Amino acid sequence: MAARAQSTTPVRKVPIHLQSAQNRLLIKNGKVVNGDGIQDADVYIEEGIIKQVGNNLIVPGGSRLIDARGKYVIPGGIDTHTHLQLPFMGTTTADDFYTGTRAALAGGTTTIIDFVIPSKGQSLIEAYKQWRERADEKVACDYALHVAVTWWSPEVQQEMEELCRDHGINSFKMFMAYKDLWQLDDTELFEAFERCKQLGAVAQVHAENGDIIKENCKKLLAAGVTGPEGHEMSRPEEVEAEAVNRACVLANQVNCPLYIVHVMSKSAGEVVAEKRRQGIVVYGEPIAASLATDGKHYWNSCWRHAAAHVMGPPLRPDSTTPDYLMDLLANDDLQLTGTDHCTFSSAQKEMGKGDFTKIPNGVNGVEERMSLIWEKGVVSGKMDPTRFVAVTSMNAAKIFNMYPKKGCIAVGSDADIVIWDPKLEHTISAATHHSAVDFNIFEGITCRGGPEYVIANGRVTVDEGQVKAVQGYGSFIPTSPFAPFVYDAVTEREKVHQLIKVEREGRIVAVRNTM
């Protein structure tokens, strides 16, 4: 059995005026939903930790009571894929670590996993320290980090080990696109996957064929296609699916656990499903955007509207994509969800006016993810509340080795809890969202189901719908390698993955050249 998550409980920076009132909570009469079952139970919280789950609880006086009658009591969401305060394509995202985590809490997400992205040639450790400095004093909820491997060298290999051993990193993202910026070639990917396997880390990939994209961009611009529609035309879904397949083959050759971030198309989703059926350890992460909207927006006559949807891989013009990906997610062909929340204002997007390759890539999602999945997954009848918890929280906690500290409602777990009101109706709009960006790609979508209360480490951060996020309240969550959920499977496969030579009888007779 590999090492379990050994992350220490961080010292909470709770403002004085919040310390006494918030440390004892009793949630009564709700339906407690975990990723593996539902029970009618009360939940008692003290000092940020779940102390009791059951009925007829005996609790100290002075606890705040929340009546969850008719509501679900679910683990706080875990968004596995955000980019806050990211310097990218000549600018920096509109959401920083405060506004982005405030928006996360508003939507029921209590932990995010962001990405350290070193520039080519930069020390990974140095970049990691930069991200920690940016985030630590700003985050309103807990966060963990993936580290991107944007170049390859013996130093990078060494720093990957140091990050896993000393800095709480257990996942690395390799880019197969963004040629000349972050892209790795197949040999580098092969070696990076081998390194991840040695360290007990999860290998993530941005799966698109960056070489094809570069050539297509040249052709499109030369043909005078400069608008956002050129973005999708330069990288149609087969360019994503090819890279997903190639990443799976490479990972399988070294028996490294693989994680496909932002699955954006039916064909990419099908590749993941087929490879999983073949027994490969691969996980697929569709995102709020690919589950709830499509790429027809790139052909909108309003440039601003079309450009707001530019991200990589792009949203797909096939409008059956969201439904199809939700079906794959419901039946565990795809396993969990993130958002790739990477926001740029209209003014920032205008950097690409006249040349779509210069439109900063990224969209919103961190606030809307859970309500959109409830609306399009649960209300639609595709999945039940336990599967909803699995794909919005539990599976992420298990893959990134935070479980059961995060991702479940159990005695000893962090008190990251959402009182989910299935009747709460809300229409998404930039006019009311908590992100700092001026556009919302889900504008006008009405969701039935949303958070009435959001409790983060025992503190009520959304109170009857009112967001009370506190800057700096969140903490960095170190994650340990060799997550059992992932590496128990890898270990079993390793047994049949041995490279064994054939022992042959007799000596080899030299054949004289008779020419």
Ligand X SMILES: C[C@@H](CNC(N)=O)C(=O)O
Q: Which residues bind ligand X (CB under 6 A)?
A: 83, 88, 206, 262, 311-312, 340, 342, 361-362
Q: Measure the CA–CA gap between 77 and 181, rounded to whole angstroms.
A: 32
Min dist CB 177 to Zn ion, Å, is 8
Nearer to ligand X, 340 or 452 (CB): 340
- CA-angle at 209, arms to 208 and 213, nearest 5°: 100
Partner interacting with residue 190 (select from Zn ion, ligand X, none; CB below 5-8 Å by kind): none
Q: Measure the CA–CA gap between 85 and 433, rounded to whole angstroms.
A: 18
Nearer to ligand X, 121 or 412 (CB): 121
Residue 224, both tokens: 């005078």
Nearer to Zn ion, 95 or 340 (CB): 340
Partner interacting with residue 362 (select from ligand X, Zn ion, none; CB below 5-8 Å by kind): ligand X
Min dist CB 9 to Zn ion, Å, is 29
Min dist CB 427 to Zn ion, Å, is 18
Partner interacting with residue 474 (select from ligand X, Zn ion, none; CB below 5-8 Å by kind): none
Partner interacting with residue 361 (select from Zn ion, ligand X, none; CB below 5-8 Å by kind): ligand X
Partner interacting with residue 387 (select from ligand X, Zn ion, none; CB below 5-8 Å by kind): none
CB 115 within 8 A of CB 338: no
Q: Measure the CA–CA gap between 59 and 207, rounded to whole angstroms.
A: 51
Nearer to ligand X, 83 or 387 (CB): 83
Min dist CB 240 to Zn ion, Å, is 11
Residue ranges in contact with Zn ion by CB under 5 A: 206, 302, 305, 340
Q: Measure the CA–CA gap between 147 and 158, rounded to whole angstroms.
A: 14
Question: How does DSSP assign 184-213, residue by residue?
Answer: --HHHHHHHHHHHHHHTPEEEEE-S-HHHH
What Cα–Cα distance (Å) separates residue 409 from each residue in 104, 371, 397, 417?
19, 20, 12, 7
Min dist CB 174 to ligand X, Å, is 12
Nearer to Zn ion, 50 or 201 (CB): 201
Partner interacting with residue 369 (select from Zn ion, ligand X, none; CB below 5-8 Å by kind): none
User: Which residue is associated with the tokens 């099908």?
Assistant: 270
CB 344 within 8 A of CB 94: yes
CB 50 within 8 A of CB 408: no
Q: Which residue is nearest to ligand X (CB)?
A: 361
Partner interacting with residue 496 (select from ligand X, Zn ion, none; CB below 5-8 Å by kind): none
User: Which residue is associated with the tokens 């889900």?
Assistant: 442
Partner interacting with residue 35 (select from Zn ion, ligand X, none; CB below 5-8 Å by kind): none
Nearer to Zn ion, 417 or 441 (CB): 441
Q: Which of 115, 135, 374 is nearest to 261 (CA)?
A: 115
Q: In the chain, count H helices and then E strands.
A: 17, 20
Nearer to ligand X, 262 or 376 (CB): 262
Nearer to Zn ion, 193 or 473 (CB): 193
Q: At 81, which helix (H) or strand (E)? A: strand 77-82
Nearer to ligand X, 23 or 364 (CB): 364
Min dist CB 96 to ligand X, Å, is 15
Min dist CB 89 to ligand X, Å, is 8
Strands of 142-149's sheet in order across: 77-82, 109-116, 142-149, 171-175, 202-206, 258-263, 282-286
Q: Measure the CA–CA gap between 486 and 170, rounded to whole angstroms.
A: 11
Nearer to Zn ion, 300 or 471 (CB): 300
Min dist CB 80 to ligand X, Å, is 12
Nearer to ligand X, 271 or 311 (CB): 311
Partner interacting with residue 485 (select from ligand X, Zn ion, none; CB below 5-8 Å by kind): none
Q: Measure the CA–CA gap between 39 and 119, rounded to whole angstroms.
A: 48
Q: Measure the CA–CA gap between 477 and 142, rounded to whole angstroms.
A: 7
Pairing of strands 31-34, 37-40: antiparallel
Partner interacting with residue 305 (select from ligand X, Zn ion, none; CB below 5-8 Å by kind): Zn ion
Min dist CB 211 to ligand X, Å, is 16
Partner interacting with residue 311 (select from ligand X, Zn ion, none; CB below 5-8 Å by kind): ligand X
Q: Measure the CA–CA gap between 477 and 484, rounded to whole angstroms.
A: 18
Min dist CB 175 to Zn ion, Å, is 7
Q: Measure the CA–CA gap between 49 and 47, rounded to whole angstroms.
A: 6
252: DSSP letter: H
Min dist CB 117 to Zn ion, Å, is 9
